Amino acid sequence: MQGNFGSTFTGISISFVNGITSLAEGNTIAGIVLSGQRNRFIGIMAGQGNVNINNNTIGSDTGVDSIVNTNTTTGNGDITAIYCATGTQNVTTNRIGGLTMCGDTLDKGGSVTGIYADTGTKTFSNKR
């Protein structure tokens, strides 16, 4: 995906509905290349509420450059494998790897975050 002015790619976006716990399980998100100005990649976004995120692979646990984000302007792009917003999320036995954040010149770049946790109750176990 090539985008300008802060495009966002989200592999899975999930939130709970009516008090029911939502589940993101057994998914693979890989083979993604972003290029542009301050682009953002989020593998799995748990928007709010009760969400279980189990046994997923974001990128590759055996290779490199499975997910690549190349920033082409001053200012940062970013990669976040799992983003847990407000609420209760359980994150178990997920594989994260092969993530590459780079700039097309030395003054451009960004950040890589494996798991981001916002407010609420979070449980993390068997991380790889």
pLDDT at 4: 60
Q: Which pLDDT value is given to residue 5?
A: 63
Q: What is the pTM of this model?
A: 0.90
pLDDT tens string, the chain, 128 residues long: the values are: 555 667 889 999 998 767 788 999 999 999 999 988 888 999 999 988 899 999 999 999 888 999 999 888 877 889 999 999 988 899 999 999 999 998 878 778 789 999 999 988 899 988 55
CB 57 within 8 A of CB 30: yes
